[in-house]
Amino acid sequence: MKVNVYNQNGEETGTALLPKEIFDVKMNPDLVHQVVVSQMANRRKVLAHTKNRGEVRGGGKKPWRQKGTGRARHASIRSPLWRHGGITFGPTKEKVFKKEIPKKMKRLALFMVLSGKVKNNLLILLDKLKLEQSKTKLMAQIIENLKSKTELPFMEAKVKKGTKSSSPIKKGSVLIALSELDKNIILAVRNLPDVKTIQAKDLNCLDLLSLKYLIMPKDSVKVIRDTFLE
């Protein structure tokens, strides 16, 4: 599968051949959904936690004697029956949301999502991506060049007749897949809204589907092939 290759100025410099076994895979929505749900569950942080009668403070002394008062017998004021006592059957941090998915299923779902990016013209391939300084302004200019000069349908904004558009760019979130750890790019992207970076070896369905467009240098294709095609 051939795709156009651009430079950092948004100019087309040639074409590249993408491996079919990664970027030309038939979509299976059920498989992708299953993998994404498992990844969301594995990233979930358990915050809700209630204390049972053994965790709440106090209750060391029996509130009154066992017999002779005419009242019901009680051993602790931290019983779930009492106000400010422990909670019965409440949410706890011990609950596990993790879901196991076979490696082959995760890999196949990743190839399906990458193929969908190519088929829907949501992938922009660069000859290289380098910054001499970790300046957000430089990275913003590169993204602006790619959005304004590449001939992709999602870049064209719909403008009503008789009105002028301040920018010919339709906004959308961007994921930048780096072939290796590049601190200059990571620091430059950090302050850009809806733009995130990830190493190509760490690509996954959840991040790809959470962000609309995928930008990556040609070197990232080799990293993806070496990492996921064993």
List, for residues 67-115, the tens digit of each pLDDT value: 999 999 999 999 999 999 999 999 998 888 999 999 999 999 999 999 9
Q: For the domain that residue 183 is a member of, what is the CATH number?
A: 3.40.1370.10
Q: Does 38 share its domain with 105?
A: yes
Residues 6 or more apart whose CB falls under 8 angstroms from that of 74 comprise 62, 63, 64, 81, 82
92 and 102 within one domain: no
pLDDT of residue 229: 86
**pLDDT for position 152:** 46
Q: Are residues 11 and 76 in the same domain?
A: no
Cα(141)–Cα(204) distance, integer angstroms: 27
Same-domain pairing of 204 and 121: yes
192 and 141 assigned to the same domain: yes
What per-residue confidence (pLDDT) applies to 129?
Answer: 92
This model's pTM is above 0.85: no
135 membership: H or E segment, kind and range: none
pLDDT of residue 150: 55
Do 195 and 90 fall into the same domain?
Answer: no
Residues 83 and 103 grouped into a single domain: no
Give yes or no: residues 86 and 106 share one domain: no
Give the C-alpha separation, 92 to 218, whole Å. Answer: 47
Q: Tally the domains of the chain.
A: 2
Q: Are residues 28 and 139 in the same domain?
A: yes
- Domain identity same for 127 and 155: yes
Taking each helix axis as running N to C, give the angle between helix 218-228 and helix 103-119, from 0 to 180 degrees, rounded to the nearest 10. Answer: 150
Range of the domain at 29: 2-44+98-159+168-228
Per-residue pLDDT of the chain (230 residues; tens, 9 = 90+): 789 999 998 888 899 999 999 999 999 999 999 999 999 999 998 899 999 999 999 888 899 999 999 999 999 999 999 999 999 999 998 888 999 999 999 999 999 999 999 999 899 999 999 998 999 999 999 988 887 755 444 444 333 444 333 332 346 789 999 999 999 999 999 999 889 999 999 999 999 999 999 999 999 999 999 999 86
108 and 119 in a single domain? The answer is: yes
